[in-house]
Each structure stands twice: as C-alpha cells, then as structure tokens.
A and B are shown apart, each in its own frame.
Chain A
Amino acid sequence: MKEKVYLINREIFYVLSFGSLILTCLELVKPRLVLAWLNINLWLAVWLASGIIMLAIKPGRATAKK
C-alpha cells in the first residue's frame, strides 16, 4: 500500500515539476499569461505537498530504519 501511494505520488510530483518549468518559461516569454488562468499558490502547494509526501514515505528509507 505504502509503495502504491509512493509510486502515484512520484508520478504527480514529476508532472507538477515539469509543468512548473514549462509554465515558468511561458510566463517569462509572455508575462501574465499563465497567471491569468492558473492559481500559482495552489499549484505550488500541491507540488510541495507531493514532494514532502514522497520523501516521507520513500520505501528505501523505511527499509533502512528497520
């Protein structure tokens, strides 16, 4: 179960990370364009949360503790 959550979370984290990069580039090229359609606070909050969860439940780390 833990591994399942980790894998799902990892995929979300990767997509959000790459998305942040692309959207930042778009915003630099055309200011206000992304911010007009996206709540950047919400995006970063979800991205941060997924990153923290990923680190917290990393299977390798749990095994090392045992």
Chain B
Amino acid sequence: MLKRIHYLRIFLWLILASFILFIVWQAVVPSGRAVYEFDFKKSSFFIGRLTPRERVGVIARGQQTITGQPVYFNLWTPRPFNKLKLTIKYKSNQTPLIEVGLLMNKQSSAYYLQPLNNETLNELYISKNWGMIQSGQTILLQREETYANVQDFLNHLPPAKNIAIYNYSLPGGNYKKVNAEFIINPDIKYIIGKYQLPKTIGEWQMAEVEFDLTRVQRTKDGYGLMLSAPFLNADGVDVSFIKAELSGQKFSDFFKF
C-alpha cells in the first residue's frame, strides 16, 4: 500500500512539474513563434473582444457584426515579438474600405493602418477586365497589359494622370488615390498599391496583413489593434475569425555572441 502511495506521489509531482514547465515554456516561447486564435465561439485570453460595445453586435453563431467604427481589440503576448501576421475572416457587405491599425504610441494614440479590404480593387480583379501583376505585397492593375512586371512599371512610369495609387508612394506627380470615393475615369490606366487580395471562402473573405512590431510600444495589455471601416454601410461588417501569427527572437539567439 505504502509503495503504491509512493508511486502516486511521484506521478502527481511529475504532473505538477510538467504543467509548470509548460507555463514557463509558453512565457519564454523558445521557438520565437506563437499563434493565437479567436473564433468568436470560445473567448481567447490572448486576443481580446471587439470594443466598444456600442459599436458591435452580440456574438452569435460564431460571428460578430461591426456596426460602428472604429473598433478596438488587444493582442496580449507573454513576451515581445518582431513581426505580426494578422489573418481576419470577414464579410464586408459591400463596405468599400476596411483597414487594420496597430497602435504605435499609446500617448499619442497613433495607429499605423494597413488595408484589409478594398472593394474597388477586389471588383477590378474579379471583373477580369484589368490585368493584375503581384510582386510581394505590391499589386499592379493595368487596363491594358503594357508592363510585364512591377519593376518594369516603376522604371518606365507613365504620365501621372494615368496612375492611381493605393497605400503606396511614387516619386513626384499628383497621383489620384484609391479611397472610398474613388471613381475610375478613362484616364486611369494603372493602379499600383500595397495590398493583398482577400481569399474567398463561400460567403466569407479572408485577408492577411503584416506589421513590424520592432518600433511599437507594447503596453501591459499587449499590442493595441483597431478595425476601421470608413463609409460603413447599414449591414456593417461581420467578423468570424482572428488569427495572430507572431515571430520574434529565438531563445537560442540570446546565447549567440
């Protein structure tokens, strides 16, 4: 009997030691990579709920509707990271522009915005009337296929009146910007922007945005994020999934001299 109790004692202490080791492992994240998800079914300790309450509907059937903008949420991490790839599954309901912002400085409430969804660019691509070239995060849409790649376009820029830009800067010229009020006139022949077209999954769309976290002020609540949708229509924007993929220094890097 006493021998059995002795084995039980060893077993229980081993379980406790393993659990504590697991907690410490999660705090250190030795691999330098971490993935946190929020599926709007079960609350996540790492990705906070969308706030303020007045601007969102209730969470039902694994989704939530954004009825006002902007809405905010936090991404809590046990340690600092260098890069964040945010994947969001949403239904835009024809909202022309959806952007994700990362809080750079809490005192000044300065957000760095990245495009999540641009209906104008999506429609141009879907209509197949415009050709599209993608190079990394840059896309080039052209009415007639004149350029073979983005570099060729940048080396031989057409007149400024033929170009519209989105989340991109080009030297000189007064370029039209692709925003919610943008109308494509016949002069516009090329649209260049830093944008990744969303993937379509049934009625839903899934888009990714990347942020550099090295110059971001991390608070005790983690990283501050924002979803902005200027010109939000009455149907709002439905969100059903948020995934944060973080990468940073590996634990082994701390011992390199």
Q: Name the contact of A33 in the complex, choosing from B1, B12, B13, B23 (C-beta under 8 A).
A: B23
Residues of B within 8 Å of A, CB-based: how many?
20
Chain B hits for A31, CB < 8 A: 220
Determine the main DSSP class of B at the interface with A: helix
Instruction: Using A30-B27, A30-B78 as known contacts, say yes or no to A19 and B220 having CB atoms under 8 A apart.
Output: no
A15 to chain B, nearest CB (A): 4
Q: When each residue 9-51 of chain B gets 1 if its CB lies under 8 Å from chain A and 0 otherwise, what string results?
A: 1001101100110111011000000000000000001100000
- Assess whether A37 is in contact with B12, with CB atoms less than 8 Å apart: no
Contact A36 B220 (CB under 8 A): no
Contact B13 A15 (CB under 8 A): yes
Cα distance, A12 to B20, chains bound together (Å):
16
**Contact: B12 with A15, CB < 8 Å?**
yes
What separation, in Å, do the CA atoms of A21 and B51 have in the docked complex? 35
Q: Contact between B12 and A12 (Cβ–Cβ < 8 Å)?
A: yes
Can you report 27 residue pairs joining A to B where beta carbons are below 8 Å apart? A4-B1, A7-B1, A8-B8, A11-B12, A15-B12, A15-B15, A23-B20, A26-B20, A26-B23, A26-B24, A26-B27, A30-B27, A30-B78, A32-B45, A32-B76, A33-B26, A33-B27, A33-B78, A34-B23, A35-B45, A36-B26, A36-B45, A36-B46, A36-B78, A37-B23, A37-B45, A38-B23
